[in-house]
Structure 1
Amino acid sequence: MLAESDPGCRRCRLYADFVVRTNARNNGLVGDYRERIGEPKLKLGTTGRLGGSVTVAVGAYSSKATGDSEAVSHRPETFVRQFALSPVAGRWIMYEMKLIRQ
């Protein structure tokens, strides 16, 4: 993910760090954690960046920051992920993103 992101995309880094630390492979995620992504809405901005949003839904799951930590339960939720893409070397990379609870 970070290879497709601008080095200054702070939320991209936070998201990637969470995925590395907490994932199904190390039993950090259990349940319906898979993101279901809706149809993206895109708009080209005046700065040349592409902006947009997409609906993200997840089911009920639990997460653990480390193998020894206590599990935290998460209820099903829907978010809107807003993002900006920037053109670099003929391709679009993630410039910034944020999740907004619905």
Structure 2
Amino acid sequence: MPRMLPFPSRRLWAAAGAALSSALIVCGSVAVAQQDKYTISVPGGLSFAEFRGYEDWSVISLSKSEKHFAVTLGNPIALEAFRAGIPDNGKPFPDG
């Protein structure tokens, strides 16, 4: 006769249900937070919506003054131009 496993207790089912509920709440919160990314703003009125489209650009240079940092970003077209030797080779930067 095959050996039968004992039926899980109510505590085990309650713990599993609580864990599943918690996981679903966390996943839902992450999805809502990602949707609201562009509604965030910093003091002074600058909002993340103003940076839309620049998120995937790469850093070309970084400069620092006594109070501020400045970052120069470049899109993939500009990065390819730098890799090709522009501006040292005398060619103009491509549009884009």
TM range (shorter): under 0.3
Q: Give the number of the structure with larger relative contact order, counting CA–CA contacts within 8 Å between residues 6 or more apart.
A: 1
TM-score, with normalisation over the residues of structure 2?
0.24
- Higher share in helix: 2
TM-score, with normalisation over the residues of structure 1?
0.24
